[in-house]
Structure 1
Amino acid sequence: MSDEAINDIRRAIDQHHNQIAYYISFGLDQPGV
């Protein structure tokens, strides 16, 4: 895999974790609630 592809994956993972942390911090079980 190219460095660019790896960076894209890492960025996607970071965004996913940020969303989870955001929802947890507000006590939401799932997005959109």
Structure 2
Amino acid sequence: MKKKQKKKLAKLVIKAITALAMLIAAIAQLIQALN
């Protein structure tokens, strides 16, 4: 693997984790709103 590819992969992983965290936060807010 080239270094550039690793950097791209790392950025993609960070984006995925961020999106997942935002999704979890949104679901948590929805659950709180329903309770």
* TM-score by shorter chain over 0.5: yes
Shift of 1:22: 0.2
Question: Which amino acid in 2 is paired with 1:6?
Answer: K
Supply the distance in 2 between the matched residues of 1:19 and 1:5 (Cα, whole angstroms).
Answer: 21
TM, length-normalised to structure 1: 0.72
Q: In structure 2, the residue corresponding to 1:26 is in which secondary structure?
A: helix
Unaligned runs of 5+ in 2: 30-35
Question: Which amino acid in 2 is paired with 1:20?
Answer: A
Aligned-pair Cα RMSD in Å: 1.8
Higher RCO (CA-CA < 8 Å; seq separation 6+)? 1
Runs of 4+ in 1 over 3 A off after TM superposition: none
Identity %: 4
TM, length-normalised to structure 2: 0.69
